[in-house]
């Protein structure tokens, strides 16, 4: 016969028909209690045959209890079951099983006697006399009535479900580990999550030790691991730790822990005071004794034959010692943890590489300019983001201020940032206007985005669109004008010397590499000397935020002190990288600039040379350098007279360099030519390029300026 867990007969064989006299049609679907009741005589006596037969044919244990919950003697069947108490017959049922809560079980049984409502599949803990293991039983109670329909007793169906309960408990531990371990991208955080997941559900003490290099992102060594390898105690949860968390040390030789790193095989260790290996690790032996640990499973953290560390699980005190079946669970737990640690290790390595790459790509020490003081504040996120800034000195006492941000983080983001930064430096050398410079930068970003989109489908970078923003400001210290253009970033702020703060309303252009070819409109503002410009890649400069009032209050503070003040105020960080660039502008000394208007006739060159000679003498420029400057000015003016248009203007600017500029109203571009030996002209720009440190052409809305920069300047 087959009996369901709730006591119903679900299968009835021919042998059962012969023994009980019931047909299959009559027996299937009935409760065991009904079958037992049919064997009770008028005096309330019991027939043992049916109970003996049921017990012999089923893994369940069947007990018949009288009204006092004593086990009625119905044969020797109970003693034949390994999971059944030998001394069960005649004893009080709640006591003979060594139930953890006998009073509750007695109350349950009497409730069934009183109401007649069966209680099915009640799982309880018990410790059967003579059995060292804590067992779990499923009890079902069914009332039995005599021929007068009075309560004659109970049929108790007991099923040993110890293995089932432990399997469920182990599955719960594994699910807890899978749910809580793996979402972290930090090796130490993964280890802490592992100890939190297994204590106290699986063990009383857990220790995770990771090879030190793995924490820093290095590749784990292949097994067997050399004894000199240093391990970091990454996480601990329990009573007493042999070593503090964070300590780096070697594992003593000839211990289960060192042996695990040799063959990557987990071990179940019974902890007895006379264990030989304890003498090799006195600190751990002392903590084991103080924790009252009774058993240990030590398992490797390994992946693809590479060892990353060791996990130690201890049970202590009244906790039931580990058994062989627990080894499979620890293997699954540690395999999941090892994969999570390896993911975190790879992320750490990529983050380290990206951060190093970004540091190398960013300006190590941006060159200070005499026209602008600057300082920056970087609030890094969890990974290397794509925010950067540049301060680029231009000709004619002008300075370019650049702040940009590439969305994302990691190596690809840092590389893209470096590419865009290089493009800006190259374009800035061409003296392009800020709006044209931004347009060409956007074209470059669009080409980079197209290359990324064309990568193979399996490349992870292919699915990450390139998005970047940028802000470019060019400040001219001579006329104190600043031209600003932005692509996607927030408006800048200006803090005047008197503390008034105001937004600089710059029309927003499209993000770099965005769709279409929308223009990047520029805004030009006049800045009084001592004004502070503030640029940010995030929402730091919101009118209702903390930063703008601090900048206004500290209008007279140094920029470094202002950055410190802002950093102190922004204690609540988030996941994004924030960058703040502050630039305080200066007025260029009027006595260091000479401007004259020249005729567009042949006498322009002699006039220019004479004015240059007189001005350089006033500036105490040495005679040799003054002669070179005269020659350069003469060639610039001669070139403008021959190929340019009115008006014609000469400007000399003296700071750390001497800059000679000639403006004319023509838009045609000058070309450097190598004249032949028989040519009488065509050598002007060639001479300028040979004598000057640098030269170039700057275009405006009504003409162009050809300039040359010489080393005859003020001491740096």
Tens of pLDDT along 112-147? 888 888 888 888 888 776 676 788 888 888 888 766
Domains 2-160 and 166-350 share a fold: yes
* Cα-based distances in Å from 335 to 178, 209, 229, 267, 684: 11, 15, 21, 15, 75
CA-to-CA distance for 105 and 158, rounded, in angstroms? 13
Residue 557 has pLDDT above 50, yes or no: yes
pLDDT at 558: 92
**Residue 125 burial (C-beta neighbours within 10 Å; 0-12, 13-18, 19+):** middle
The whole-number pLDDT of residue 407 equals: 87
Angle at the Cα of 135 from the Cα atoms of 129 and 138, rounded to 5 degrees = 115
Contacts with 288 (C-beta within 8 Å, 6 or more apart), sequence order: 271, 278, 296, 314
Identify the pLDDT of residue 6: 63
Residue 3: pLDDT over 60: yes
User: Residue 651 and residue 580: Cα distance in Å, rounded?
Assistant: 35
**What are the Cα distances from residue 236, in Å, to 177, 199, 255, 277, 372?**
16, 10, 19, 22, 53
Contact by Cβ (8 Å): 592, 655: yes
Cα atoms in the 13 Å half-sphere on the side-chain side of 381: 18
Predicted pLDDT of residue 356: 73
Answer whether residue 449 shows pLDDT above 50.
Answer: yes
pLDDT at 616: 93
Q: What is the percentage of the chain residues whose pLDDT exceeds 70?
A: 85
pLDDT given for residue 462 in this prediction: 72
Neighbours of 256 (CB within 10 A): 19
CA torsion sign, 428 to 433 to 439 to 440? negative
pLDDT, residue 676, reads 45
Give per-residue pLDDT as tens, 643-675.
888 899 999 999 888 999 999 988 886 655 554
The domain limits of the chain are 2-160, 166-350, 362-585, 590-710
Output the CATH code of domain 590-710.
3.30.565.10
C-alpha–C-alpha distance, residues 287 and 273, integer Å: 12
2-160: CATH architecture: 2-Layer Sandwich (3.30)
Asked if 221 and 211 count as a contact pair (C-beta separation under 8 A), the reply is yes
Question: 616-645 pLDDT, tens per residue?
Answer: 999 999 888 989 999 999 989 988 888 888
CATH-assigned architecture of domain 362-585:
4-Layer Sandwich (3.60)
Provide the percentage of residues in the chain whose pLDDT is more than 90: 37
* Residue 296 near residue 322 (C-beta atoms within 8 A): yes
pLDDT at 76 over 70: no
Checking if the pLDDT of 476 tops 90, the result is yes
Mean pLDDT of 411-435: 88
Among 79-83, 259-263, 308-312, 458-462, the range scoring the smallest mean pLDDT is 79-83
Residue 494: is its pLDDT beyond 90? yes
Tens-place pLDDT, residues 503-546: 999 998 888 877 767 788 999 999 999 999 999 987 788 877 88
In words, the CATH class of domain 166-350 is alpha beta
Instruction: Give, in degrees to the nearest 5, the angle at Cα 413 between 410 and 415.
Output: 105
Q: Which two tokens stand for residue 632?
A: 């350069």
Would you place residue 683 in the very low, low, confident or very high pLDDT band (cuts 50, 70, 90)?
A: low
User: Which parts of 304-410 are beta strand (E)?
Assistant: 306-316, 372-379, 385-394, 398-409
CB 298 within 8 A of CB 256: yes
Average pLDDT over residues 156-177: 87
User: What is the rounded CA–CA span in Å between residue 210 and residue 204?
Assistant: 20
Contact call for residues 3 and 32 (beta carbons, < 8 A) = yes
**Per-residue pLDDT band at 74 (split at 50, 70, 90):** low
The torsion angles phi and psi of 604, rounded to 5 degrees, stand at -65, -40
3-state secondary structure 578-611: EEEEEEEECCCCHHHEEEEEECCCCCHHHHHHHH
Q: What is the pLDDT of residue 46?
A: 45
Spatial CA neighbour of 230 closest among 276, 216, 242: 216
- Say yes or no to pLDDT of 51 above 50: yes
What pLDDT band is residue 251 in, cutting at 50, 70 and 90?
Answer: confident
Tokens describing residue 405: 């941000």
Widest Cα–Cα separation across the chain: 146
Instruction: Work out the mean pLDDT of the chain and round it to a whole number.
Output: 84
The model's pLDDT over 280-338, given as tens digits with 9 standing for 90+, comes to 889 999 999 999 999 999 999 999 999 999 999 999 988 889 999 899 999 999 999 99
Whole-model pTM: value is: 0.65
Q: What pLDDT is stored for residue 678 in this prediction?
A: 40
d(CA 443, CA 419): 13
């Amino acid at each position: 016969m087959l009996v369901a867990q709730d006591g119903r007969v679900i299968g009835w064989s021919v042998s059962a028909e012969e023994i009980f006299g019931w047909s299959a049609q009559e027996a299937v679907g009935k409760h065991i209690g009904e079958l037992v009741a049919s064997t009770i005589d008028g005096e309330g006596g019991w027939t043992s045959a049916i109970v003996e037969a049921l017990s012999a044919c089923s893994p369940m244990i069947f007990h018949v209890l009288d009204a006092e919950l004593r086990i009625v003697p119905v044969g020797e069947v109970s003693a034949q079951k390994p999971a059944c108490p030998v001394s069960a017959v005649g004893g009080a049922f709640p006591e003979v099983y060594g139930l953890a809560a006998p009073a509750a079980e007695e109350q349950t049984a009497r409730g069934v006697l009183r109401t007649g409502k069966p209680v099915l599949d009640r799982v309880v803990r018990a410790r059967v006399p003579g059995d060292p293991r804590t067992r779990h039983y499923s009890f079902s109670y069914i009332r039995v009535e005599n021929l007068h329909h009075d309560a004659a007793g109970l049929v108790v169906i007991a099923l040993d479900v110890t293995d089932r309960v432990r399997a469920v408990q182990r599955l719960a531990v594994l699910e807890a580990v899978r749910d809580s371990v793996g979402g972290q991208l930090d090796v130490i955080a993964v280890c802490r999550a592992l100890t939190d997941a297994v204590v106290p559900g699986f063990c009383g003490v857990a220790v995770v030790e990771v090879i030190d290099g793995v924490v820093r992102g290095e590749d784990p060594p292949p097994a067997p691991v050399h004894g000199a390898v240093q391990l970091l105690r990454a996480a601990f949860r329990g009573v007493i730790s042999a070593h503090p968390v964070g300590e780096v040390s070697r594992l003593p030789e000839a211990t289960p822990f060192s042996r695990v790193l040799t063959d990557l095989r987990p071990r179940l260790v019974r902890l007895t005071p006379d264990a030989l290996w304890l003498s090799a690790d006195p600190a751990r032996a002392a903590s084991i004794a103080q924790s009252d640990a009774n058993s240990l499973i030590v398992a490797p953290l390994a992946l693809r034959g590479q060892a990353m560390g060791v996990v130690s699980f201890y049970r202590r005190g009244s906790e039931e010692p580990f058994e062989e079946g627990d080894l499979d669970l620890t293997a699954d737990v540690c395999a999941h943890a090892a994969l999570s640690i390896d993911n975190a290790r790879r992320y750490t390595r990529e983050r380290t590489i990206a951060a190093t790459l970004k540091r190398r790509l960013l300006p190590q020490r941006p060159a200070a300019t005499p026209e602008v003081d600057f300082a920056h504040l970087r609030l890094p996120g969890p990974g290397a983001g794509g925010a950067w800034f540049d301060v680029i000195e231009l000709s004619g006492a002008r300075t370019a201020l650049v702040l940009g941000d590439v969305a994302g983080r990691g190596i690809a983001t840092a590389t893209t940032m470096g590419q865009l930064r290089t493009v800006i430096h190259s374009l800035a050398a061409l003296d392009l206007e800020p709006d044209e410079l931004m347009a060409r930068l956007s074209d470059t970003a669009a080409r980079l985005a197209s290359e990324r989109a064309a990568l193979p489908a399996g490349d992870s970078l292919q699915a990450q669109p390139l998005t970047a923003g940028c802000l470019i400001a060019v400040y001219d210290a001579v006329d104190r004008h600043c031209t600003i253009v932005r692509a996607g970033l927030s408006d800048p702020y200006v803090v005047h010397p008197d503390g008034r703060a105001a937004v600089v309303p710059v029309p927003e252009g499209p993000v770099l590499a965005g769709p279409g070819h929308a223009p990047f409109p520029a805004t030009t503002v006049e800045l009084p000397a001592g004004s502070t410009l503030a640029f940010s890649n995030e929402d730091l400069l919101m009118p209702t935020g903390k930063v703008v009032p601090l900048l206004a209050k500290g209008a007279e503070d140094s920029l470094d002190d202002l950055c410190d003040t802002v950093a102190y105020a922004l204690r609540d960080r988030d996941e994004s990288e924030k960058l703040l660039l502050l630039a305080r502008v200066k007025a260029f000394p009027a006595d260091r600039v000479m401007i004259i208007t020249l005729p567009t006739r042949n006498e322009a060159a002699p006039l220019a040379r004479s004015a240059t000679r007189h001005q350089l003498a006033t500036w105490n420029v040495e005679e040799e350098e003054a002669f070179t400057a005269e020659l350069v000015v003469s060639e610039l003016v001669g070139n403008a007279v021959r190929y340019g248009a009115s008006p014609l203007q000469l400007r000399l600017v003296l700071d750390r360099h001497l800059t000679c500029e000639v403006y004319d109203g023509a838009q045609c571009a000058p070309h450097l030519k190598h004249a032949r030996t028989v040519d009488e002209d065509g050598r002007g720009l060639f001479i300028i390029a040979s004598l000057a440190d640098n030269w170039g052409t700057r275009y405006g809305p009504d003409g162009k300026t050809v300039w040359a920069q010489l080393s005859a300047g003020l001491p740096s």
